[in-house]
């Protein structure tokens, strides 16, 4: 049985109401004006990366595909819209039969992106495309922010294992999406069982301080945990005195003790002391896991510490200071009439304050230098230059309303590792800087 097909046990009839009201009022007005069926092209992009970030990470694409498939106006949803008087009866009749029948192209999930990258392109009638704006942005903005933070933490960890443990720091459903996005960005496991159930992500977890405090002594708590979970378990050693806890842990479990976890104090100093103590006690294979409000900077500062794994919560599920990517969903081209053969006309918003957009249906390709390292993100609206034809980034995701590009989450995770490795080395520096490669329009 595929856990990803089981769905979450959440009472949500469809994704149709994960939207803003003006999507429906625009639909009603366009239906009345006779412009709703005009062929249209919408694109998702961001005008800038969060301050100091060198690259973005595309995450949430698989969840977008699920949301598009489940965007249905059933009787309960239509009844709500009718009762509130949000749209008129002709619009309700149109919504009753809504099924997205257009095409979607986009950067494959796990790929990196830059300002102006056409991350997702949605094509169809204006009516069917405009309704998807909010739910698509909701998913991509959230998941890509988490994946970008995870990617930076993964780079800082330098191959050491990473555990996502932020479920208690965010909305219960956002926690599941965060686990998925963190896995895309390079994390190895999660503490959230719903994420393991829904997406097959490896799950881990042993005990909290409450378990130690429950017992009459730390020794009793450790013995109970070892008796239940075996010598390979991870014991939390900072409830009282770390050195005494480590001695007790090895005494009870022997040198086969799986790991100890440190959740407070000067992690760099304590980790060195614990490693020395474990080695002196003969537990040379016992691992050290550190937690306690880590972010990518704290992880980088522990590079010289004898740490085997990091557990990250709050900073990860909040995007490490950047909980959104500021992606937008803009109409970039539309036909001049309802005729399916009518040519597309580029359209673009022109305004002050840096909110201009570039019109036209776009392609994107990544130009490489002689060493095979990315040197520019090239975006255009005309013919693709011959030298970039095999470097195009957008792939077909939905054709005629049918999803054509589902893939295992591990494939997405592997793609991100390759994509990040293809950037200049300065991409993984934590110092503030501009995007690691420029975006060029042709």
CB neighbour class for 308 (10 Å; exposed up to 12, middle 13-18, buried from 19): middle
Mean pLDDT value across residues 286-293:
96
pLDDT in tens, 137-194: 999 999 999 999 999 999 999 999 999 999 999 999 999 999 999 999 999 999 999 9
HEC profile of 79-91: HHHHHHCCCCHHH
Q: What are the distances in angstroms from CA 209 to CA 18, 212, 239?
A: 39, 5, 6
Instruction: Tell whether the model's pLDDT for residue 9 goes beyond 50.
Output: no
| 341 band by pLDDT with thresholds 50, 70 and 90 | confident
User: What is the CB neighbour count within 10 angstroms for residue 112?
Assistant: 28
pLDDT at 98: 97
Q: Is pLDDT at 315 greater than 50 in this prediction?
A: yes
Report the pLDDT value the prediction gives residue 350, as an integer from 0 to 100: 80
CB 68 within 8 A of CB 4: no
320-332 burial, b at 16+ Cβ within 10 Å, e below that, comes to bebbebebbbbbb
Calculate mean pLDDT across residues 342-362: 85
The 10 Å Cβ neighbour count of residue 347 is 15
Burial (Cβ within 10 Å: 0-12, 13-18, ≥19) of residue 405: middle
Per-residue pLDDT averaged across 209-237, rounded? 98
Mean pLDDT of the chain: 95
* pLDDT for residue 354 is more than 90: no
Question: Which pTM value belongs to this model?
Answer: 0.94
Please, what are the domains in the chain?
12-131+326-441 (3.20.140.10), 146-321 (3.20.20.70)
pLDDT confidence band for 353 (50 / 70 / 90): low
**Tens digit of each residue's pLDDT (9 = 90 or more) over 356-388:** 788 999 999 999 999 999 999 999 998 999 999
Categorize the per-residue pLDDT at 212 as very low, low, confident or very high, splitting at 50, 70 and 90.
very high
Is 14 or 301 the better-scoring residue by pLDDT?
301
Does 1 score more than 80 pLDDT? no
pLDDT given for residue 338 in this prediction:
86
**Burial class of residue 4, CB neighbours in 10 A (0-12, 13-18, 19+):** middle
Cβ atoms < 10 Å from Cβ of 3: 12
Contact present, 35 and 126 (Cβ < 8 Å): yes
Mean pLDDT on 16-43: 97
Please return the burial class of 439, using the count of CB atoms within 10 Å of its CB with bins 0-12, 13-18 and 19+. middle
Query: What span, in angstroms and rounded, lies between the C-alpha atoms of 343 and 335?
Result: 6
| pLDDT tens, position by position, 317-328 | 999 999 999 999
Residue 205, by phi and psi: left (phi above 0), alpha (psi -120 to 50) or beta? left
Report whether pLDDT(261) > 90: yes
Tokens, residue 428:
């993984």
3-state percent breakdown (helix, strand, coil) of the chain, nearest 5: 40, 20, 40
Residue-level pLDDT at 14: 83
The pLDDT-based confidence of 11 (bands split at 50, 70, 90) is very low
Distance CA 273, CA 280 (A): 11
Rounded-to-integer distance, Cα 111 and Cα 396, Å: 14
Whether the CB-CB separation of 182 and 59 falls below 8 Å is answered with no
Decide: 303 and 275 in contact? Cβ < 8 Å: no
User: What DSSP line would sit under 145-161, residue for residue?
Assistant: HHHHHHHHHHHHHTT-E
**Dihedral (CA of 138, 44, 57, 267) sign:** negative
Residue 393 predicted with pLDDT over 50: yes
């Amino acid at each position: 049985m595929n856990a990803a097909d089981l769905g979450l046990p959440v009472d949500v009839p469809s994704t149709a109401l994960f939207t803003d009201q003006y999507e429906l009022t625009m639909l009603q007005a366009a239906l009345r004006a006779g412009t709703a069926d005009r062929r249209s092209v919408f694109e998702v992009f961001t005008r800038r990366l969060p301050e100091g970030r060198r690259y973005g990470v595309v995450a949430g694409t698989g969840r977008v595909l699920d949301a598009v498939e489940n965007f249905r106006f059933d009787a309960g949803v239509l009844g709500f819209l009718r009762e509130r008087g949000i749209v008129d009866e002709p619009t309700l009749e149109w919504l009753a039969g809504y099924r997205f029948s257009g095409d979607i192209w986009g950067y494959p999930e796990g790929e990196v992106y830059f300002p102006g990258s056409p991350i997702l392109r949605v094509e169809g009638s204006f009516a069917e495309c405009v309704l998807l704006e909010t739910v698509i942005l909701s998913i991509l903005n959230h998941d890509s922010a988490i994946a970008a933070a995870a990617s930076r933490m993964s780079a800082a960890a330098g191959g050491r294992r990473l555990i996502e443990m932020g479920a208690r720091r965010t909305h219960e459903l956002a926690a599941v999406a965060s686990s998925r996005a963190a896995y895309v960005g390079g994390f190895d496991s999660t503490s959230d069982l719903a994420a393991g159930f829904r997406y097959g992500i490896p799950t881990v977890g042993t005990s909290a301080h409450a378990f130690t405090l429950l017992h009459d002594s730390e020794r009793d708590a450790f013995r109970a945990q070892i008796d239940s979970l075996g010598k390979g378990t991870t014991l939390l050693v900072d409830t009282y005195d770390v050195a005494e806890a480590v001695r007790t842990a090895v005494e009870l479990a022997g040198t086969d003790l799986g790991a100890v976890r440190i959740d407070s104090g000067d992690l760099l100093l304590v980790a060195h002391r614990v490693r020395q103590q474990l080695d002196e006690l003969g537990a040379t294979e016992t691992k050290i896991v550190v937690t306690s409000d880590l972010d990518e900077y704290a992880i980088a500062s522990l590079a010289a510490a004898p740490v085997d794994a990091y557990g990250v919560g709050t900073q990860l599920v909040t995007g490490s200071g950047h909980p959104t990517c500021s992606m937008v969903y803009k109409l970039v081209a539309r036909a001049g009439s309802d005729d399916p053969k009518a040519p597309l006309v580029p359209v673009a918003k022109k305004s002050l304050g840096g909110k201009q957009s570039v019109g036209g249906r776009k392609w994107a390709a990544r130009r490489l230098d002689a060493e095979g390292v990315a040197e520019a993100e090239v975006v255009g609206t005309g013919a693709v230059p011959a030298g970039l034809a095999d470097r195009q980034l957008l792939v077909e995701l939905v054709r005629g309303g049918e999803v054509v590009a589902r893939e295992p989450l591990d494939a997405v995770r592997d793609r991100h590792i390759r994509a990040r490795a293809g950037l200049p080395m300065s991409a993984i520096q934590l110092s503030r800087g501009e995007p690691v490669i420029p975006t060029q329009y042709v």
